Each structure stands twice: as C-alpha cells, then as structure tokens.
Amino acid sequence: MADTTGGIEAFYLENRSFSPPDSVKSDAWITGSEEYEQAERDWQGYWARQAGDLLDWSKEWETILEWDRPFAKWFVGGELNVSFNCVDRHVASGLGGRVAYHWVGEPGDTRTITYADLLADVERFANVLKGYGVGKGDRVAIYMPMIPELPVAMLACTRIGAVHSVVFGGFSSDALRDRINDAEAKVLVTADGGYRKGKANLLKPAVDLALAACPSITDVVVARRVGHAPSGSEERTVDMTDGRDHWWDSAMESVEASCPPEAMGSEDLLYLLYTSGTTAKPKGIMHTTGGYLTQVAFTHKYVFDLHAERDVYWCAADIGWVTGHSYIVYGPLANGATSVLYEGAPDHPDKDRWWQIVEDYKVSILYCAPTAIRACMKWGTSYPESHDLSSLRILGSVGEPINPEAWIWYQTTIGGGRCPVVDTWWQTETGAIMISPLPGATTTKPGSATFPLPGISAQVVDESGSPVSVGGGYLTIDRPWPSMLRGIYKDPERYQETYWSRFEGRYFAGDGAKLDDDGYFWLLGRVDDVMNVSGHRVSTTEVESALVDHQSVAEAAVVGASDPVTGQAIVAFVTLKSAFTPDQDHGEALRSFVADRIGKFGRPKTIIFTDDLPKTRSGKIMRRLLRDVAEGRDLGDTTTLADPGVVEEIRARASVSPTEE
Ligand code: WT7
C-alpha cells in the first residue's frame, strides 16, 4: 500500500498556500487586509455599518454598544422585525418570485417555496399562534423534522415577538419535556413525524409522552408529514387530544391572511436554544434580535461570498441545531438567498444522494460537517464522481476540527480543485461564525480555520490567561461581538461562571487551539467535559447521569474517544450493582436507556463494564486515563466488553499516576 502520510504531506506542502483562481475571487472585498485593518481601527463602527447596510430598521439605534461585562447590549434603542427583514422586504423589492427554499423530502417528493409563498405562510401561522394567546415574549417550543413548516413556525414567532425554542427532532421525549418546562413554553409546534433512512420516524408519540408532564403547554399544532399518506395508500393514525391538539392545515385555513410585523427592540429575546454544558442540566442559550441578525447576515454573505441573485446555497445541517438556525434560516433569508432544504439522510436511497441534489439544483455553495465528509470519503469517490458537481464554487465546513486529509479530499474530489474551502469555527453561544477564511481573500492551510473575521478579536492564552503568539493554549475572545449569547435563560450566575470566570476579562470558548508561525488558528477540540460526536455536542456528565439513573448502575464514567468518522465516539465505563450481570444484553439495555433519556445521538457506542473506576484521592474520576484506555482498544459498534483485562489495565495505569487530573 502506498504511503498515504507522505502523499498527504506532499500535497499539504504544495497546497499550503491554496488560493482560489481569479474566477472565483470575491468582488466584495477590496483586499483582505484593508478590510481587517479598517474593522480593527473602529470595531464598533464597523459592526454598526454592517447593521445599517445589511438590515432594515424601523427605528435607528441610539448607542452601538453598552458593555457591562459580561453583559452586552448592541444597537440599543433600535427597532426591527426579523421576519420583515427575512421575508417582507424581499417581496416588497420585487423578489417575491425568487425561490427561498428548494425543499427535498427524503422519499423524493419536492416543494418549491418562493419568498411570496413564505410570506403568506408566515403571516397566517403568526395569526394561528396569536389565536392561542401567544404574544410578545411568550415562549413557543418547536419539535419538527426538516420540513418547510419548521422555518415558517420560527419566522411566525419572530413576527409577533414570541421567543422560539427549537428542540432537535432527534431528542427523546424526556429531553423535550425538560426543555419545554425550563422555558415554560405556552404552545408546541410539531409534526406527526418525518422521514429518515427510508423510515417514517414518528414524533407525535414522543410529544404525547412529554406533554404528560408539561403544565405550561395549552395548545399543540401538528403538521402533517407522515400521517396523511397519499390517497390510495395506507393511513397512519395519529392520536390527537381534543381541545389541545390542532392540525396545521386546518388551523391555517381558519385564520386571516395578513399579520403585520411587530417592531421589536434590538435587545428583545429572539430565541432560546438548549445546549449541553459540563453539568447534566442543559443550558438555555439566549440570543437577541438586532446584533444576532446583523452578524448572521454579515457572515453568511461574506464567508460564503454570496451572490444571492445567482447562487444556490445548501447548508446540510438540521435546523434543530444552531447551524440550521443561523445558516439555514436567518442568515440566508436575511440575504434573500435561494437555499436547498433537505429532509433526510445522505445515504438514502443511495450514498450519492447529496451529489444528486447538488447536480439537480446546481448548488454553488455547500456547507456541511467534517463527519459527513469523512463518511463520504469512506464510501468512495465513485459516488461524487458519477455526478456533475461543476456548479460548486465554495465549500464550507463546520462543527469540529477538519483533519487535513478530509479538507484535501473535500477540496479536490468534491470541489474539483477550484473551490475554496472555508473552515468556520463558532458555537451555539457565539451565534455566528467567528473564525474563518474569506474565500478569495485568505490564503488557506488545510485543517486551519485561519483567522478571526474582521471585527472579531480572539486570542489563544496560556494557563494563566496570557496571550501566546505561537503555540498551544485556550481559545478566548476579549471583546463583545454582535451575535454573542446574552446569557443562560434564568441563570445569569451560570453564564458568568461558565464563560467569563476562567480567564480575567475574557470569554472562554471551551476549546483548545494553537497558533502557528504565521499566526493561523488551528482548533484542537474541547478541553472541558463536552464531547463532539458527528458535530453534535454531548456532555459526558449528561450521559453519566442518565446511566446512573438506571437501577442496575452503581457508577459510570463517560469519555469521548477519538473516532475516524464521527470525530469522537461515546464510551461509557460502567460498574454494576452486585445483583446484576455485566453481559451483552445488559449493555444493550443500558444503551437504549440512554437513548430514551437523551436521544439516539447521545447513546454510547461502547459500554465497558469494570469492577471499579480510577479516581484521584479527592474522588474525581480520572477521565483522561479512561480515554487512553478507550482509545487503545478496538471498539466495536455495539460490543459490550466485560473484560477483566480492562480493569487491570486501568489499575496498572492508575497506580502510575494516582493524582492525575
Ligand atoms: C463546538 C461548538 C457551530 C455550529 C456547530 C456546533 C466545535 C465548531 C468548529 C471548527 C473546530 C469546531 C468546537 C466548539 N467546532 N466548529 N470549524 N473547527 N471545532 O455548535 O454544538 O455549539 O459546538 O464545536 O469545539 O466549541 P456547538
């Protein structure tokens, strides 16, 4: 076999300064450095210019920024409406016929939604919500598959000033219940189900289970997706609770067509999005209106060099995560872009589904996660090579560090060597892209997210909080940015503690990073107890606490072990109470127990039964050691190992450095 390492290194050296050909260079930037310098000289003024250029405000702001660390207020006194900016103004300027979404259902059905269609639906659905008593500041939970009704529901909330809390459709009913209760949501918008990997994935049963313990919910709207099979085929029955549950289509018919947008304050709450932290309780990340929309519109336009009149943009994420909020819904719509919205899995009905979609819709900008790129690499080049991908112009990556091999494969096999790859670092908390190349202006290096965007100030610091100029450390941000989280819902102390206390005067992202000799940023992954599985954030503590809730479990320790496709894989070390037998069946039972608690994506890949767990003298589980053990093993997909060797290995290692961590 050829020495692939040498090959990649050689390629890397050749392409270390990859610059796209002139034909794809952006005309939006005079030169990279001038833009950065200007932004640095007056960063507040820079963001104010973006807010004014990219958005329509019904009332001008008085103050650009009020900064009472760690609490920021942007464009204070300004008023605007998000749905107006995302929809109405495009229709008003004659673009009502432009496609907002080319929707592709997994079974092959399609829908085309123009900006005019979107406006009509958003207005009606806003009236539906109003009819259930939803007003400014009220929370609306949304639990849906990737169907057009999902962005409609979100935009309808923003139209009337309600706060949405979207819960990813892959979450379990327990997780849904906890999120609804924390937000005290009044209304839940859902669907009977969605299609994934050729199966109808039912959502309503999980909803009914959750709502048995959600006293704040008065009304539920259910969109039809799988329940109403086309005439002639089998009907699936869906339980509807009288007085509480309403079908989407009949609710839409019974309201008026027009609903004027509410003028909202720049700092009014736009949405909550729950994300995992280092404790078992998820955090309700708060995003507000004016600053958030400014930065998502800005980054969507410039990071992807968007030319809305001709580009077809596809972000292959799920709207249930922040990537979808910012880069399927708010950024693209604010910019009047035409997007693809795809319901299903990349390998259904075959492993070329994505490339078929790129060819069918002539996608020019593709934004996806490294885990998907690595899965495609594994499936082989024949799938992309059997399709015409010449429409592609820009390729984006997000969610986890992209290894140089995957970067290069993406750039050559998918991008045909023509397309710049933009590796974009950001978080649920940052709301929008923070560190990324600008295509055509930034010389890229495979595997590096390059530099903070104009207007953003990020540093790598050492243990004591001093910035390092070359080498590794912790990624921090030392001044506010427009789309930053405004806090954790109902928990300002946790906000301060989690993000602003580790390093004086700095936001700590939770990531390790390194700066190379040329000042390029290389992201190294989380340094806290947060795992990254296929670009999804899962907390070790959350999985551990689900496990110890099982009657058989005495103790559990969870680690993220590196995995060639998913980035990290969840490995759980479990000690059972003496009455229980550590065998394959029991491991399976525990895996599905966790899936019920969190969702399938939180299910451990491997469970390793041990007699005891290595701890420091103070009783802290030595996770780093467990990670070493997990990474040193050949871990099967569902294998449950009851291997006395593991315990010995742990003991042997533990005795070497008993106070580690
Ligand atoms: C964590 C945030 C941002 C949307 C998807 C995930 C990791 C994200 C990159 C990147 C290296 C990345 C970080 C970050 N991450 N993008 N380009 N390179 N790591 O959002 O669930 O809030 O997770 O994802 O570790 O802290 P999230």
Q: 418: exposed, middle or buried (C-beta count within 10 Å: 0-12, 13-18, 19+)?
A: middle
Reported confidence tier of residue 626, pLDDT bands at 50, 70, 90: confident
- Ligand 1, atom 14: closest residue by C-alpha: 427
Residue 42, C-beta contacts closer than 8 angstroms, at least 6 positions apart? none
Kindly list the distances between the CA atom of residue 281 and the CA atoms of 274, 430, 473, 488, in Å, as whole numbers in the listed order. 10, 20, 27, 12
- From first CA to last CA, the distance across the chain in angstroms is 40
Q: What is the dihedral of CA 584, 585, 588, 593, to 10 degrees?
A: -140
**Per-residue pLDDT reduced to its tens digit, 571-618:** 999 989 989 998 889 999 999 999 999 999 999 999 988 887 777 666
- 3-state SS assignment for residue 274: strand
- What is the whole-number distance in angstroms between the Cα of residue 80 and the centre of ligand 1? 29
282-326 pLDDT per residue, tens? 899 999 999 999 999 999 999 999 999 999 999 999 999 999 999
CA of 430 to the centre of ligand 1 (A): 10
Whether the per-residue pLDDT at 632 is higher than 90: the answer is: no
Average pLDDT score over the chain? 90
CA proximity to 155, closest of 255, 271, 253: 271
For 491-513, how does the pLDDT look when each residue is reduced to its tens digit (9 = 90+)?
999 999 999 999 999 999 999 99
Separation of CA 535 and ligand 1 centre (Å): 7
pLDDT at position 17, please?
A: 53
The token pair that represents 426 in the structure block: 């950001």
Please give the angle made by the CA atoms of 569, 573 and 574, to the nearest 5 degrees: 135
pLDDT of residue 637: 41
Cβ-count burial of 130 within 10 angstroms (0-12 exposed, 13-18 middle, 19+ buried)?
A: middle
- Rounded to the nearest angstrom, the distance between the alpha carbon of 427 and the centre of ligand 1 is 5
Report the residue among 286, 374, 460, 532 best suited for mutation to probe ligand 1: largest number of ligand atoms under 8 A from its CB.
Answer: 532
Read off the amino acid at residue 295: Q
pLDDT (0 to 100) of residue 402? 93
Q: Is 359 helix (H, G, I), strand (E, B) or coil?
A: helix
Give the number of other CB atoms < 10 A from CB of residue 524: 16
| C-alpha 511 – ligand 1 centre gap (Å) | 9
Q: Inform me whether the pLDDT recorded for 653 exceeds 60.
A: no
DSSP string of 281-346, one letter each residue:
SPEEEEEESHHHHHHHHHHHHHHTT--TTT-EEEE-S-TTSHHHIIIIIIHHHHTT-EEEEE-S-T
**523, 524, 534, 542, best to mutate for ligand 1 pocket (most atoms within 8 Å of CB):** 523
In the numeric block, which tokens belong to residue 517?
Answer: 């000799």
Tokens 């000690």 locate to: 575
Distance set, CA 205 to CA 28, 150, 210 (Å): 49, 19, 9
For residue 625, what pLDDT band results from cuts at 50, 70 and 90? confident
Of all atoms in ligand 1, which is nearest to the CA of residue 428? Answer: 22
CA distance 67 to 295: 17
Q: Which CATH superfamily is domain 7-511 in?
A: ANL, N-terminal domain (3.40.50.12780)
Statement: residue 628 has pLDDT above 90: no
Task: Give the range among 73-77, 363-367, 446-450 with minimum mean pLDDT.
Answer: 446-450
Helix (H) or strand (E) holding 571: strand 567-576
Task: Report yes or no: 474 and 512 within 8 Å, Cβ to Cβ.
Answer: yes
> Residue 650: pLDDT band by 50, 70, 90 thresholds?
low
Q: Tell me, what's the pLDDT at 359?
A: 98
pLDDT value at residue 582 = 87
Instruction: With cut-offs at 50, 70 and 90, classify the pLDDT of residue 74.
Output: very high
Q: Environment class of residue 75 by beta-carbon count within 10 Å: exposed (0-12), middle (13-18) or buried (19+)?
A: buried
Q: Where in the chain is the domain with CATH 3.40.50.12780?
A: 7-511
Dist. CA 368 → ligand 1 center (Å): 12
What span, in angstroms and rounded, lies between the C-alpha atoms of 271 and 158?
A: 9
Write out the E strands in 399-520: 421-424, 458-461, 471-477, 487-488, 507-515
- Determine the residue of 407, 425, 430 to mutate for testing ligand 1's pocket, defined as the one with the most ligand atoms within 8 A of the Cβ atom: 425
Task: Report strand pairing: 99-104 vs 110-114.
Answer: antiparallel
Residue 2 pLDDT grade (very low, low, confident, very high; cuts 50, 70, 90): very low
pLDDT tens column, 426-471: 999 999 999 999 887 788 889 999 999 999 999 999 999 999 999 9
Res 383 pLDDT > 50: yes
Closest by CA to 126, choosing from 259, 250, 219, 218, is 259
Query: Hey, how many other C-beta atoms are within 10 angstroms of the C-beta on 639?
Result: 14
CA angle centred on 659, ends 633 and 612, rounded to 5°:
50
From the CA of 470, how far away is ligand 1's center (Å)?
22
CA distance 635 to 555: 21
Structure tokens at 477: 């941000």
The predicted structure's pLDDT at residue 3:
37
CATH 3.30.300.30 in the chain: give the residue spans: 534-660
Q: Which residue has the tokens 């993000």?
A: 499
CB atoms under 10 Å from CB of 10, counted, come to 11
Residue 581 alpha carbon to ligand 1 centre in Å: 39
The pTM of this model reads 0.90
Q: Is the pLDDT at 31 greater than 50, yes or no?
A: no
User: For the segment 248-293, what is each residue's pLDDT rounded down to a tens digit?
Assistant: 999 999 999 999 999 999 999 999 999 988 777 889 999 999 999 9
**Mean pLDDT over residues 241-254, rounded?**
97
215 CA distance to ligand 1 middle (Å)? 34
Question: Given the CA of residue 397, which atom of ligand 1 is nearest to it?
Answer: 17
**Which residues does ligand 1 sit against, CB inside 6 Å?**
275, 322-323, 398-401, 423-428, 449, 509-511, 523, 525-526, 532, 535, 537
Distance CA 481, CA 460 (A): 17
Which residue type occupies 143?
Y
- Residue owning the nearest CA to atom 23 of ligand 1: 427
Give the confidence band of 32 by pLDDT, cuts at 50, 70, 90: low
How does residue 647 score in pLDDT terms, banded at 50, 70 and 90?
low
Residue 95 CB partners (closer than 8 Å, separation 6+): 115, 336
What CATH number should be reported for the domain whose range is 534-660?
3.30.300.30
Residue 335 has pLDDT above 90, yes or no: yes
